[in-house]
């Protein structure tokens, strides 16, 4: 199986684990590194994409550049775009908080509230852009896997909201385009906005700070889950209510990353002290805790076909855990730099030149 990682120094790495013996200590691992070390080009988010009928890895970088990289041609950059709202300086250091691509559309979002839909099917994608200006202080934006015109976002004092870019482009009132929206004061494009939970036992307002979110179903946009800076996991059903239908406090540390688990009833999340756990969103109970982390796990990915959890983070390791109840650590690969995101290559990997794990680590230190 092949995985792709991005790091703070701008390197995209391909890690291939030999599938015939993934649980053995001597499992073969091949590591390829693409790009040059440059902190200003640090990779913030990765996603899969298609450009010019070629599958690509899309990397959103710290300097505002979005690269389409061909993993089958030694990391060759096929094409690139620039997000002008990202500037590299101390006063205005914007970051990417959302990235999505398919064969027709590239979607980018920044913490300043700029959301861009670029048409990759046009002859001049840079000038075929639909731009939405949302509220600032956003921390995460996700585009629905199948309904690409639907996205959800949230952040610091920005509660969860769901948007339809088609309604925004046409300027149609959301009360006409959506059966979920009840507030006519919402701007065009908003189809649903969350309402904060009730005041606490001191009758004080509960602060809002969403750090990550996920759609729970590829065929339905109505169910979402969020993780917060105030160590809460919240489940929303936009057909049922504006307030969360489940609100669970998990430990004492902020949630960093969130991913759908083995099924739509389970989520896996990480926090700032290196805990990685799974939670049943039907009951609110913690299910499993994955061990072995020495730092925050920034990137989480689930291989549903093989029932594996793949993680990367500040301790510079890629880890592969079983999700079958044993939570065994199958593989641990040192990648030298602090890692920011992880992607799974679902295509079958053909025969490659592999090297033992120990030799791979030695080669890294020699570079």
Which one, of 21, 27, 128, lies nearest residue 354 by Cα? 27
Residue 52: burial class (beta carbons within 10 Å; 0-12, 13-18, 19+): exposed
| Cβ–Cβ < 8 Å for 341, 299 | yes
- Note the pLDDT tens digit of each residue in 1-34: 899 999 999 999 999 987 655 555 556 899 999 9
Which pLDDT belongs to residue 353? 36
Token digits for 69? 């990289």
Cα 131 from Cα 120, distance rounded (Å)? 15
Domain interval for residue 313: 2-366
What is the pTM assigned to this prediction? 0.86
Dump pLDDT digits (tens) for 288-347.
999 999 999 999 999 999 999 999 999 999 999 999 888 899 999 999 999 999 999 977
Q: What is the pLDDT of residue 151?
A: 97
Task: Tell whether the model's pLDDT for residue 171 goes beyond 70.
Answer: no
What would the mean pLDDT of 186-215 be, rounded to a whole number?
92
The pLDDT value given to residue 170: 62
The mean pLDDT value of the chain amounts to: 87
Query: Is 60:66 a contact under the CB 8 Å cutoff?
Result: yes
What is the domain-level CATH number for residue 201? Answer: 2.130.10.10
Total of domains in the chain: 1
């Amino acid at each position: 199986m092949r995985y792709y990682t991005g790091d703070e120094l701008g390197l995209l790495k391909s890690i291939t684990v030999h599938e015939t013996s993934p649980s053995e200590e001597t499992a073969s691992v091949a590591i390829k590194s693409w790009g040059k070390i440059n902190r200003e080009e640090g990779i913030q988010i990765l996603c899969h994409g298609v450009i010019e009928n070629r599958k690509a890895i899309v990397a959103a970088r710290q300097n505002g550049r979005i690269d389409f990289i061909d993993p089958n041609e030694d990391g060759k950059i096929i094409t690139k775009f620039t997000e002008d709202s990202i500037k590299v300086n101390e006063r205005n250091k914007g970051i990417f908080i959302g990235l999505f691509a398919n064969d027709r559309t590239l979607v980018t979002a920044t913490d300043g509230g700029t959301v861009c839909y670029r048409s990759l099917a046009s002859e001049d994608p840079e000038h075929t852009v639909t731009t939405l200006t949302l509220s600032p202080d956003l921390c995460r934006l996700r585009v629905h896997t199948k309904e690409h015109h639907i996205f959800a976002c949230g952040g610091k004092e920005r509660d969860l909201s769901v948007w339809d870019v088609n309604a925004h482009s046409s300027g149609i009132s959301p009360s006409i385009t959506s059966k979920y929206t009840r507030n006519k004061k919402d701007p065009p494009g908003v189809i649903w906005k969350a309402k904060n939970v009730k005041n606490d036992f001191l009758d004080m307002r509960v602060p809002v700070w969403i750090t990550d979110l996920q759609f729970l179903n590829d065929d339905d946009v109505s169910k979402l889950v969020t993780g917060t800076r105030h160590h809460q996991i919240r489940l929303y059903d936009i057909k049922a209510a504006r307030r969360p239908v489940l609100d669970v406090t998990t430990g004492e540390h902020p949630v960093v990353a969130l991913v759908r688990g083995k099924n739509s009833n389970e989520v896996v999340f990480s926090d700032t002290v290196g805990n990685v756990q799974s939670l049943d969103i039907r009951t609110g109970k913690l299910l499993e805790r994955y061990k072995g982390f020495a730092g925050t796990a920034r990137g989480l990915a689930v291989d549903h076909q093989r029932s594996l959890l793949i993680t990367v983070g500040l301790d510079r390791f890629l880890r592969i855990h079983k999700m079958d109840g044993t939570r065994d650590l199958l593989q641990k690969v040192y990648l030298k730099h602090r890692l920011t995101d992880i992607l799974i290559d679902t295509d079958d990997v053909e025969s490659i030149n592999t090297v033992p794990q120990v030799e791979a680590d030695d080669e890294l230190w020699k570079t």
